[in-house]
Chains A and B, each alone.
Chain A
């Protein structure tokens, strides 16, 4: 257990529904990242926050995706109008934000879109 928690761990939804995932980083970590991983592939970067500021978004993050980190603590990732192609493991990671800045991953949220 790295200290990064994610909720829910599993989500099954129907195409067209909206879903929201939550990530709680390690308490002293300033940076928070979202990645997406599909079967047989490595994680792909989606976005990252330095405190409450969203500093980078991948081109993978379409208009249907939005992420927030109010008050620089937990973060939420929302997917609107889900599509079957959104089925994946959504991973959250956090890092201190200084020095070597190693990223530690949470357990992930597995999304299945029917």
Chain B
């Protein structure tokens, strides 16, 4: 079992709709969770961080964390073509030092 799992996609969403991206993790003691956006050929760019159960909103983005289910999600409201990218879920595992463990990423395409 991979430490962090994401559906690789591609996920296709019409412009203006809500895009929902999901991630599960295996280390129950994990404390810090991050969503990065990565455009083709570029490096990961931080979108959201979340540390407590529940929702965290930042503009059009909402991160959701459920530690009991070991599940993290990212919702993108009013999706724009510029949101088309690969979204990486990253977890700071409890047993590791400060490293991040990444999922393989979900490729999201927003269709105009």
Contacts and interface: CB of A to CB of B under 8 A. Distances in A.
Interface of A: 2, 31, 33, 35, 40-45, 48, 55-56, 58, 89, 91, 95, 100-108
3 closest A-B pairs by beta carbon, nearest first, are A42-B102, A45-B99, A105-B43
B51 A100 contact: yes
A61 B4 CA distance: 21
A106 B43 CA distance: 7
A107 to B, nearest CB: 5
Given A56-B96, A100-B49, A102-B34, A45 B44 contact: no
Given A42-B105, A100-B49, A102-B49, A48 B97 contact: yes
B90 to A, nearest CB: 8
Contacts of B32: 100-101
Interface residues of B, number: 25
Nearest to A44: B102
B98 A31 contact: yes
Given A42-B102, A100-B49, A100-B51, A91 B97 contact: no
Nearest to B8: A40
Contacts of B103: 42
Given A100-B51, A105-B36, 4 more contacts: A42-B103, A42-B105, A101-B92, A105-B43
B44 A33 contact: no
Contacts of B44: 43, 91, 105
Given A33-B98, A48-B99, A105 B45 contact: yes
B17 interface: no
A56 B97 contact: yes
A31 to B, nearest CB: 6
Interface string B95-112: 011111111110000000
Contacts of A48: 97-99
B43 A102 contact: no
Contacts of A44: 102
A44 B101 CA distance: 7
A31 B99 CA distance: 10
Contacts of B43: 89, 91, 105-108
